[in-house]
Structure 1
Amino acid sequence: MFQDMTLEEIRALQQKQQLAFIDVRSPSEYELSTIPGSLNIPLFSDAERAEIGTIYKQTSVQAAKERGLEIVSAKLPAFIKEFAGIGPRKVVFCWRGGMRSRTTATLLSLMGISTVRLIGGYREYRSWVVETLSTMDYAPQAYVIHGNTGIGKTAILNRLQEEGWPVLDLEAMAGHRGSIFGHIGLRSHNQKTFDALLLEEMLRVRESPFVLFEAESKRIGKAVLPDVLVRKKETGIPIRIEMPVAARVEQIIRDYRPEEYKDQYIQAFRQIKSRIHTPVAAEIEKLLQADRYAEAVELLLEHYYDPRYAYTADQYGENPGVQFNVQNVEEALAAVRDYLSPLRQ
């Protein structure tokens, strides 16, 4: 027989053994938001779910159940086989911990496959995320990387994260680079997905004496930072990086890959061109059309991004932090690593 567990019980169990979370909701529900790391093995497809819902509303509950049974029966062998191929202990959930997860857990139990069912389903997980983010007291000292567009903040964070440093890559969790061009080539995440990814990462590094992240605005694409992280940024120790324009242009070309998304970048540029002096804006668009991306980026930095990215002493409050004047991202990475190394002792 399967076992019902609360989210608290499951998270405690997760500290002791590897668990495989399986979302049995429809693909569209899964795409909208899920528990990070979950697999999607839907009991019903989107079309099947819509059909059953229509029968439920227009005919009867019993008729909907019977149609659901017909659908599940036809796919049962493949459904069971897919679950059987997943090694660790399985946790199944649906929207409210209702019929879909109960049916799945029961079927798996009948086939001798041990399963845990999350009480309250994804809705319970989402409530926990919202409550935790709104009430948590996050202890690690924040170190916040500042710098003009193109100094490679994301590249620095990615490298440090790969090396095991306590990093929160907010842009990766948002699926957005935080600019008018930030969504291109990426899949933007909604607030529910961002919140879940952020909380899991914050909890993962909560025992560290410090945490490192980029000085983002409150909104990144579709996602808004929770107040707890905004406060950490405001009280964090700034690490400002200065780099020559040529190196910044090179990094932007590397990160954004305009040659792969030319039309999208031109369309995005047209959303901001009215904010740039008309002759300069016309020249930038001409350069983009001619595939002269480095020249276009340099003009964008000079006439749009750099003026908007002004720093003042007031921004740092009583703690001015530290500034590194470097020639490229590799030097910036080394400087940040050396600066923070004593904190890991």
Structure 2
Amino acid sequence: MFQDISVEELLKLQKDKQFSLIDVRSPSEFKESTIPGSYNIPVFNDEERAEIGTLYKQVSVDAAKERGLEIMSAKLPAFVKEFKQLEGNKVVFCWRGGMRSRTAATVLSLMDVHVYRIHGGIKAYRKLVVDTLNQTRLNAEALVLHGFTGTGKTAILQQLQKEGYPVLDLEGLSGHRGSIFGHIGLNSHNQKTFDSLLFEQLREIGEAPYVLFEAESKRIGKVVLPDFLIEKKEEGLAIVIDMPIEERVTQIMNDYRPAEYKDEYIQAFNRIKDRIHTPIAAEIGRHLSEDRFPEAIHLLLTHYYDPKYDHSSRHYDESKQLVVHVRSTTEGVQAVKELVNQRF
């Protein structure tokens, strides 16, 4: 038979064994939020789940169970085959560790596929994540990347993360770049997904003596940062990335890919154009409509983003700032590495 495990036991398993996490909820539930790294092999699709839910509420529990058994029986061979294709031990879960995960685990056990089932399901995992984040107090020193829009701060952090440095990529975790244009071309995450990804990234960092992240506002897209990160940002060492505006324009072209999402960028610009001096806003609009994106970006930086950054950065303590002058993100990565090596 299958074995029930708690979410705390799941975290221990993740350290010691290779296994596959399988969310057996419907595709829409999986899309809304799941445990990071999970596969979705649903017991019922969205339509089937709705049908069974209606029977449960309007007819009877038995009628819902009978219909569920009928649906599940028809898909058993394909269901089991999908599980067998996954490597390592299998861990299944549903919303509360109830009927769907129990059914999946029982069927798989009968087919000699050993599985664990998470007691309490994703609801228990979500509670652990929220409780942990509410109680988190980072002991690590914060090295916080600042700088004008387009200085490649996220690219620098992502490269450092690839090389094993302790990084919190807050824009990556939120699926948003943090500006009026920040959602375009990305899959913005909701708060549940952000919290789970942050929880997992904090576990990876562990007891590192420092952590690198970008100076973000309290809200990034759809998500709100926890207070402990805002506090760390305020007290941390500010590493200000200074880069020539021409290089910043190139970086933005690479990151935002305006030619692919022209209409969406024009729509987003229309939401802020009233905040820009009217003749300049009109010129930016013309450049965007004529596919002259570098010119539009240059004007947006000069007349909108740079003044905003200057205003917001005035309250930072200059004694806690280190300015690094670079000509590319590659130089930025190297500069941050050198600062880290000097301090640790």
Pick the TM interval, shorter chain: over 0.9
Could you list the runs of 5+ residues in structure 1 that have no partner in the other structure?
A: none
Structure 2 residue identity aligned to 1:226: P
Q: Distance in 2 between matches of 1:245 and 1:318?
A: 23
Could you list the runs of 5+ residues in structure 2 that have no partner in the other structure?
A: none
In the TM superposition, residue 247 of structure 1 has moved relative to its aligned partner by 1.1
SS of the residue 1:322 aligns to: strand
- 1:66-215 residue pairs with structure 2 within 5 A? 66-215=66-215
Q: Distance in 2 between matches of 1:118 and 1:35?
A: 11
Partner of 2:280: 280
Root-mean-square deviation (CA, aligned residues, Å) is 1.3
Partner of 2:45: 45
Q: Distance in 1 between matches of 2:228 and 2:209?
A: 17
Bigger drift between 234-243 and 284-293 goes to 234-243
Bigger drift between 140-149 and 241-250 goes to 241-250
Partner of 1:219: 219
How many pairs align? 344
Partner of 2:30: 30
TM-score, length of structure 2 as denominator length: 0.97
Bigger drift between 106-115 and 4-13 goes to 4-13
In the TM superposition, residue 319 of structure 1 has moved relative to its aligned partner by 4.3
In the TM superposition, residue 15 of structure 1 has moved relative to its aligned partner by 1.6
Quick check: 1:96–1:119 contact (8 Å CA) kept in 2? yes
Quick check: 2:149–2:305 contact (8 Å CA) kept in 1? yes
Q: Distance in 1 between matches of 2:342 and 2:27?
A: 47
TM-score, length of structure 1 as denominator length: 0.97
Q: Distance in 2 between matches of 1:29 and 1:208?
A: 34
Indicate how the Cα distance of structure 1 residues 267 and 156 shifts in structure 2: closer, same or farther if over 3 A, else same.
same
Quick check: 1:276–1:303 contact (8 Å CA) kept in 2? yes
Quick check: 1:237–1:319 contact (8 Å CA) kept in 2? no
Partner of 1:266: 266
Structure 2 residue identity aligned to 1:328: S
Partner of 2:237: 237
- Could you list the per-position Cα deviations for residues 44-102 of structure 1 after superposition, in whole angstroms to 9, with x for gaps in the alignment? 00000000011111111101100000000000000011111112111100000000000
Quick check: 2:170–2:213 contact (8 Å CA) kept in 1? yes
Q: Distance in 2 between matches of 1:221 and 1:313?
A: 21
Partner of 1:5: 5
Q: Distance in 2 between matches of 1:118 and 1:154?
A: 35
SS of the residue 1:324 aligns to: strand
In the TM superposition, residue 179 of structure 1 has moved relative to its aligned partner by 0.3
Q: Distance in 1 between matches of 2:341 and 2:51?
A: 58
Indicate how the Cα distance of structure 1 residues 89 and 342 shifts in structure 2: closer, same or farther if over 3 A, else same.
farther
Structure 2 residue identity aligned to 1:77: P
SS of the residue 1:260 aligns to: coil
Structure 2 residue identity aligned to 1:30: F
In the TM superposition, residue 321 of structure 1 has moved relative to its aligned partner by 2.8
Partner of 2:334: 334
